[in-house]
Amino acid sequence: MTNTSLTLTAACWLAAFGFAPAADIFVSPSGNDSNAGTKAAPLGSMAAAKEAASRFAGKEAVTVHVADGVYYLPETLVFTAEDSGKEGSPVVYRSVNEGGAVLSGGSELDVTWEPYKDGIYQAKTPAGLKIDQVFIDGRNQRMARYPNYDPAKKAEPYQGYSADAFSPERAKNWADPAGGFIHAMHSKRWGGYHYLITGKDGKGAVTYEGGWQNNRQMGMHKDYRMVENIFEELDAAGEWYHDAKTDTLYYKPEEGADLNAAKVEVVRLRQLVEFKGSESSPVKNITLQGFVVRHAARTFMDVKEPLLRSDWAIYRGGAYFLTGTEGVRILDTEFDQVGGNAVFVNNYNRDVVVKGCHIHDAGASGVCFVGDPDAVREPLFEYRETNDLMKIDRTPGPKTNNYPADSAVEDCLIHGIGRVERQPAGVQISMAMGITVRDCSIYDTARAGINISEGTWGGHLIERCDVFDTVLETHDHGSFNSWGRDRFWHKDRTVTEAAVKKYPEMPFLDAGKKTVIRDSRWRCDHGWDIDLDDGSTNYDIYNNLMLNNGLKLREGYRRHAWNNITVNNGLHPHVWYKGSENVVKSNIFMAKHKPAGVSKGNAGDGVDKNLYFADKGAVMGISQKLGWDENSIFGDPMFVDPAKADFSVKEGSPAFEIGFKNFPMDQFGVKKPSLKKIARTPVIPALNTQNGGESNGAPTTEWLGLTLTELSGVEFSAFGVSQEDGGLAVSNARPISRAKQAGVQNGDLIQAVNNRKTANVKQFKKVVAKMKGEVELKVVRDQEVIKINVTL
């Protein structure tokens, strides 16, 4: 009797006695695909194990036991509907020991190293081999680059940048830079760009193509630039260069390293595992558990698809790539130094769970949930595109089911996100519904920890997360970031306000379900702790501890924030709509509000009954102008032990008078013991009880009947400009002002006069001091540049 017959006989016997039948298949690196797949005679590859499992899938529960070792996948492991399990009888692929079985999208190289020069070694590689990444003893090494990588520059772009990265002077030293890469930050630091170097022109200037990786096309930053994969820049330990023309790998090891004893691996595959189904024929009830996933190729040059009107462009792919699934589980998996996204949940997917995973040092994002733009009603893609709001389709919700829904990322440790790309997130959500992010620790990210790209279609839940050390290399963002440039959103706010006044349901056509952010801890030192940007609508925000830069609420409708604590900071209301129905109550704030583009005419009356641990005069000096905080109170909230991260309030605290309720201070972040043991936690700030009384301190000047104020702190975000460009914000424009009569408005930002930069008051005074006659102002209005001529 064969082993397969024994398995089937046992299954029939179990079924006869009411037990669910089950099949067990064994695979080992030392096995052979001609074996029966038993424990004594295991198969030798994941592909063979999948084929064996498919014979039982859907008929009975199947467990594939994967022994310790490295499984170099010759091609992507693809699951289709035929591989599906059924409810109650899933197909489970499980590493025998968690972390023992490694799925690799690379190959091990058998090379012999010889000295080259200057501490560099060389080795011959197989003919025709293309190398994207090189791993030495399990650690990803760096392409030869300029400037060199400096780990101490954690919060600097690329951990080393230079304005002359690919200047003609620098390029003189490069014999043939074709195949190299330029990496540059967006001019406003809203992410980054990448370019493939194609060579040099007749004048010695570097030629290149690319720059499509950001949805707000404004060109590369003039300073924040880096090049890699240039042979002549191979000068630092840990750098490598592969000459494909001569099939030679060059590498500079650390001093004293024994290269000939080192394990050398290179990367081949982009996707290691793909689930390939559809709504009509989904891949169901498959679990992958306990693996280490390594050696997935970088994908930054294929990040081309814009995500509606957010800043993002995306590459639909990841080390694990899911399309058309139901009930798929990714459990207890380590995604180790993958080159792009770790997990990408694409279009139609339901009930996907990513749980107990450790995702670190990823080139792009941790987990992405991204739907189909064709499921969106009236989709627009670039920031400046607009609809006629009086003619749009006002049918609520999506057109199709082709989007991720009812799925979760739970109990995960996610850090080191955006090692290659600069528009990543620990968890990215776009055109999806009902995504839960729970019990996750997320930190050390180039941009957001958690990002929601638009309101389509809401219903998300973020709870018990610990998110910090974010926005490390970018600007104007938050540990949590969202946009909501949905059907109702227009770059001219008055257009939106008029449409919503006529059709009050309009903001909720896409964001029809509330998104909840609760019971979480946030800290961002380079943006806001929680940042609800353009259009973000239909949010409940409560029981959050914000440790540094508080809560920003920009344009949007129905944002309710209560029972939150903002340590040493407060509320940042930016350019609110009239009738926005925002409610901010029962919070503990430690600073005055910092409004931008908010006045009594659009502030509403929903900000009240808060406790301020700040100077009353400073707070009310702002609040009274806005008609806020009539019933708010002032005093020491009496935190239990803030030095030890316990911001609960003691019995007798005045916070109870405004309806504040204590919430747990020990439930933030990952819970799985093995991950919690290695997870970092944020730095807890010392209390600054004088914060609310501090003056803005921004220099101000009067000019032609205008009050001009220099931008400072996070105010740059309200105008959508970089700190380098700066500018002077216009307020208190007098009716008889010549500048106002020429077209300058309150809320404008003046950045230049006659093409001479005026980033601050000092520059402005110097520029206009000797000017006469008519001058041309460069003005930013609604995040667009316009020109206005004014007669002095």
Confidence band of 784 (pLDDT split at 50, 70, 90): confident
Locate tokens 């999506």: which residue? Answer: 398
370 contact partners, CB below 8 Å, separation of at least 6: 307, 314, 316, 344, 345, 346, 347, 404, 428, 430, 431, 432
| Separation of alpha carbons 262 and 242, rounded Å | 18
> Could you tell me the CA-to-CA distances from 248 to 258, 535, 567, 635 in Å, in that order?
19, 53, 55, 69
Mean predicted confidence (pLDDT) in 397-411: 98
SS3 label, residue 85: coil
Residue 697 pLDDT level (bands cut at 50, 70, 90): low
What pLDDT is attached to residue 24?
A: 97
What pLDDT, on the 0 to 100 scale, is given for residue 332? Answer: 98
DSSP 338-381: -SS-SEEEEEEEES-EEES-EEEEESS-SEEEE--GGGSSS---
Q: How far apart are the first and last CA of the chain?
A: 101
What's the pLDDT score for residue 16? Answer: 41
Q: Where are the beta strands (DSSP E) in 621-740?
A: 633-634, 639-641, 646-649, 700-703, 706-710, 728-731
* Residue bearing the bigger pLDDT, 691 or 527: 527
Model confidence pLDDT, tens digit, residues 529-577: 999 999 999 999 999 999 999 999 999 999 999 999 999 999 999 999 9
**Structure letter (DSSP) for residue 278:** -
- Is residue 739 within 8 A of residue 745, CB to CB? The reply is no
- Please say if the pLDDT value at position 11 is more than 70: no
Q: Which helix (H) or strand (E) holds 621?
A: helix 616-626
Q: What is the pLDDT of residue 691?
A: 57
Q: Mind listing the pLDDT tens digit for each residue in 490-511?
A: 999 999 999 999 999 999 999 9
pLDDT, mean of residues 450-468 = 98
Residue 103 has pLDDT above 80, yes or no: yes
What pLDDT, on a 0 to 100 scale, did the predictor assign at position 6? 39
**DSSP summary character for residue 761:** H
Q: Which of 396, 376, 357 is nearest to 507 (CA)?
A: 396
Q: How is residue 421 written in tokens?
A: 């790309």
The pLDDT of residue 468 is above 70? yes
The predicted pLDDT at position 714 comes to 65
Token pair listed for 446: 């180039």
Within 8 A by CB and 6+ apart from 69, the residues are 28, 29, 30, 100, 101, 102
**Does position 10 have pLDDT exceeding 60, yes or no?**
no
Q: How many CA atoms within 13 Å lie on the side-chain side of 40?
A: 1
Query: Worst-scoring range by mean pLDDT, 9-18, 249-258, 569-578?
Result: 9-18
Mean local confidence (pLDDT), 604-630: 96
Report the pLDDT value the prediction gives residue 80, as an integer from 0 to 100: 98
pLDDT digits (tens, 9 = 90+) for 706-743: 989 998 766 777 787 888 889 999 987 888 888 989 99
pLDDT at residue 435, as a whole number: 98
What whole-number distance in Å separates Cα of residue 640 and Cα of residue 651?
Answer: 9
41-68 pLDDT per residue, tens: 999 999 999 999 999 999 999 999 999 9
pLDDT > 90 in the chain, percent = 88
Q: What is the pLDDT of residue 1?
A: 36
State percent of the chain over pLDDT 70. 96
Residue 223 is predicted with a pLDDT of 96
Structural contact between residues 78 and 269, judged by C-beta atoms closer than 8 angstroms: no
CA-CA distance, 581 to 573, in Å (whole number)?
13
* CA neighbours closer than 13 Å in the CB half-sphere of residue 224: 25
> Among 272-276, 282-286, 581-585, 704-708, which stretch is predicted with the lowest mean pLDDT?
704-708
**Element spanning 169, H or E:** helix 168-171
Q: Environment class of residue 620 by beta-carbon count within 10 Å: exposed (0-12), middle (13-18) or buried (19+)?
A: middle
pLDDT band at 12; cut points 50, 70, 90: very low
Strand partners, 101: 69
* Range of lowest pLDDT (340-354, 569-583, 733-747): 733-747
Give the number of other CB atoms < 10 A from CB of residue 512.
19
Q: List, in sequence order, the alpha helices (H) in 478-543.
A: 493-502
pTM, rounded to two decimals: 0.92
What pLDDT is recorded for position 735? Answer: 83
pLDDT band at 695 (very low <50, low <70, confident <90, very high): very low
Mean per-residue pLDDT of the chain = 94
The residues facing 136 across adjacent strands are: 139, 264
Structure tokens at 635: 């005093």
Asked if the model's pLDDT at residue 15 lies above 60, the reply is no
Are 111 and 228 in contact by the 8 Å Cβ rule? The answer is no
Alpha-carbon distance 251 to 17, whole Å?
63
Give pLDDT, residue 18: 40
Mean pLDDT of 137-148: 98
Three-point CA angle 742, 746, 751, nearest 5°:
75
Instruction: Decide: 575 and 493 in contact? Cβ < 8 Å.
Output: yes
